[in-house]
Chains A and B, each alone.
Chain A
Amino acid sequence: MGVTCVSQMPVAEGKSVQQTVELLTRKLEMLGAEKQGTFCVDCETYHTAASTLGSQGQAGKLMYVMHNSEYPLSCFALFENGPCLTADTNFDVLMVKLKGFFQSAKASKIETRGTRYQYCDFLVKVGTVTMGPSARGISVEVEYGPCVVASDCWSLLLEFLQSFLGSHTPAAPAVFGNKHDAVYGPADTMVQYMELFNKIRKQQQVPVAGIR
């Protein structure tokens, strides 16, 4: 597990989501990256049940339950700006039992699927973000395996991102800022995906076209 940066790639003007993805992957292949199977990250939203909120009138917090094909035996549960729990996949069954406290929001499932590329020690995952039937955007994840401290290798990651994202290179993810020199972990990647999904949810829905 190395340092990972997750970002969103805007859809190119006059092109569909799928065409933009193809453009990106072609660029990666020209760089010398090799295809290495597929990946999938999904996220389901739960909100605290009305019965448990009580009369104080507090707003229900949202909880996100996520899976990542890179860690097939784990399940991640996160609150926005809050703690992140890493559990076994059995956690899903537990959530069913906790129906009285957490209710899954209807049609809230959002996921990204795509191809995994390896270039030297970099791992690049370009995915199409879908929510229900519609493609909503493109996610780009870049992992640099050898390094474990985010602040150490950000400039290096940035240079690599620039080499194939060009002008769409993202700013440093927020999780990098408050880590100092702590060891980067899988949960930090999931926080980035959660933030990306939330950003995409708020965006205007693009017309239903070019679903993979």
Chain B
Amino acid sequence: MADVLSVGVNLEAFAQAISAIQALRSSVSRVFDCLKDGMRNKETLEGREKAFIANFQDNLHSVNRDLNELERLSNLVGKPSENHPLHNSGLLSLDPVQDKTPLYSQLLQAYKWSNKLQYHAGLASGLLNQQSLKRSANQMGVSAKRRPKAQPTTLVLPPQYVDDVISRIDRMFPEMSIHLSRPNGTSAMLLVTLGKVLKVIVVMRSLFIDRTIVKGYNENVYTEDGKLDIWSKSNYQVFQKVTDHATTALLHYQLPQMPDVVVRSFMTWLRSYIKLFQAPCQRCGKFLQDGLPPTWRDFRTLEAFHDTCRQ
């Protein structure tokens, strides 16, 4: 509710600020008019000069006044809200053609829906954990109960926290180097280089992994203008297959209350690909099947299997 009110105040201040800008513009143009006209005809030269200077001074004063007014108003208006929960997509609400492109309302609905889903999933996972037989899992359930109204905070984690989690993971695995960048606002993108085997581009939304692409060590991961290329796939069939498996892993590793554990488990799983070309299949004992090495890694044991040998 407070949000709506503050928006109302802001709107009023906006209207005032706009009229203040108009006033400032007209007073400035008056100054230039006065300069352009120069000294009017008066009887004496002294009188002419005096009148001109007085006139000029008046105009300058009014410019000063208008400028002060505008500055005062600009403080009232405040910064455009950066902490909008939808980030830059919140600006869609400014689109005047609501009927033709109801994007914003749809976006809000989707956001609410996803928040609700996450909240319910959190509750469900808390309840399920209580029923678990393992003691460690049980404790987790209790701690979740202590703050039953946990808001879906995982979507709006501060970037600093994300940086910390990633750098901790980076230190955990010496053969893996993680480079974090934020080319488009707050969402982080990771470039993970695993030994001399492969490179992975990971697109994150706060601490959730949205998308991963696996490419070869010698493949280019940047577009022509030097940005990370998150759309094109690898030229090699092996890495296309590994990309598919990595996407499967994203769906497998889910723990809504502890997103940092999810990222860590995903990276641990990813690290097992350091032996992509060296490990034979654990079932058939061979390296190749249809020209591909064992691209699947078991989620628990991290053992290597061919895609068709894993069942």
Contacts and interface: CB of A to CB of B under 8 A. Distances in A.
Given A1-B218, A146-B216, A147-B277, A155 B287 contact: yes
Interface string A162-176: 010000000000000
Interface of A: 1-2, 32, 119-122, 144-149, 152-153, 155-156, 159-160, 163, 181, 183
A186 to B, nearest CB: 12
Interface in B276-291: 277-278, 280, 286-288, 290-291
Contact of B239 (A2, A122, A146, A148): A146
B290 A153 contact: no
Determine which residue in B236, B277, B287, B293 has the highest number of CB atoms from chain A within 10 A of its CB, and name it.
Answer: B277
B197 A152 contact: yes
**Range of interface residues on B (Cβ < 8 Å):** 20 to 34
A148 B196 contact: yes
A153 B277 contact: yes
Contacts of A181: 196
B195 to A, nearest CB: 8
Contacts of A149: 196-197
Contact of B236 (A121, A152, A155, A163): A121
User: What are the 3 A-B residue pairs with the smallest beta carbon separation, nearest first?
Assistant: A120-B291, A153-B277, A146-B236
Given A146-B238, A152-B278, A153-B278, A183 B290 contact: no
A122 B277 CA distance: 13
Contacts of A2: 218
B237 interface: yes
Contact of A121 (B196, B278, B280, B291): B291
12 contacts: A1-B218, A2-B218, A120-B291, A121-B238, A121-B291, A121-B292, A153-B278, A155-B280, A156-B287, A156-B293, A160-B291, A163-B288
B217 interface: yes
Contacts of B235: 145
A183 B288 CA distance: 22
Interface of B: 196-197, 216-218, 235-239, 277-278, 280, 286-288, 290-293
A145 B217 contact: no
Contact of B286 (A32, A120, A159): A159
Nearest to A31: B291
Contacts of B286: 159
Contact of B237 (A32, A121, A148, A183): A121
A155 B239 contact: no
A145 B239 CA distance: 11
B236 A119 contact: no
Contact of A122 (B197, B287, B291): B291
A155 B304 CA distance: 15
B278 A120 contact: no
Contacts of B290: 120
